[in-house]
Amino acid sequence: MLNLNLRLMEEWRRAQTGLFGAPLDVESTMILMAITAIGAENLVRTGDLKNFEDLSTPINSRLLRRCNLSSIAETTGLNREMVRRRVVRLEKRGILVRDEDGGVLIADGISEQAEVLEAVRSQLVSMAATIDRLRKEGLVRHPDEAEHT
């Protein structure tokens, strides 16, 4: 699992280098991940992801749960002042924007960039391979398999 986490982080570093010329610092990366996770929570909870499974359809920001500095700080474990400073820095770089209510969003178009889509695809492949290995080793079972044992 640690190897998987390291591979996933390496994919984000590679995508950030392609998008921004260099990878972001760890805290900024955590903030972007938190914004994505918080935003997608409604879609994941409702299971309303069918239209987005091939990654080619951009997600309308109105479908995403709003997040603010406090929710980002809570999700990441970073203190609120650090989150505020990093968000301001990411806004200046055009990576984040604020909506009219002060909510924090990833800027339009960032999530649809080829580097991001490739990172997500690669991460999905890595996760599937890790799960397959864990299943073969008997460390993870599919819920249907558990019922038959």
Directed axis angle between helix 2-20 and helix 26-46, to 10°? 110
Residue 145 domain-assigned?
A: no
- Calculate the alpha carbon distances from 5 to 60, 116, 127 in Å: 28, 17, 9
Look up residue 137 and give its two tokens. 């080793």
C-alpha–C-alpha distance, residues 142 and 149, integer Å: 11
pLDDT tens for 18-37 read: 999 999 999 999 999 999 88
Q: What per-residue confidence (pLDDT) applies to 120?
A: 82
Residue 146 domain-assigned?
A: no
9 pLDDT more than 70: yes
Please write down the HEC assignment for all residues of 108-134.
CCCCCCHHHHHHHHHHHHHHHHHHHHH
Residue 147 domain-assigned?
A: no
CATH of the domain at 38: 1.10.10.10
| Total count of domains within the chain | 1
C-alpha–C-alpha distance, residues 148 and 122, integer Å: 32
Task: Report yes or no on whether pTM surpasses 0.85.
Answer: no
Spatial contact of 38 and 65, defined as CB atoms under 8 Å apart: yes
How confident is the model over 134-146, as a mean pLDDT? 81
Choose between 58 and 31: higher pLDDT. 31
Residue 144 domain-assigned?
A: no
Directed axis angle between helix 26-46 and helix 69-76, to 10°? 100
Most confident of 48-62, 83-97, 108-122, 130-144: 83-97
Residue 149 domain-assigned?
A: no
Residue 142 domain-assigned?
A: no
Residue 148 domain-assigned?
A: no
Mean pLDDT of the chain: 84
Spatial contact of 58 and 111, defined as CB atoms under 8 Å apart: yes
- Domain hosting residue 122, numbered range: 2-137
C-alpha–C-alpha distance, residues 10 and 18, integer Å: 12
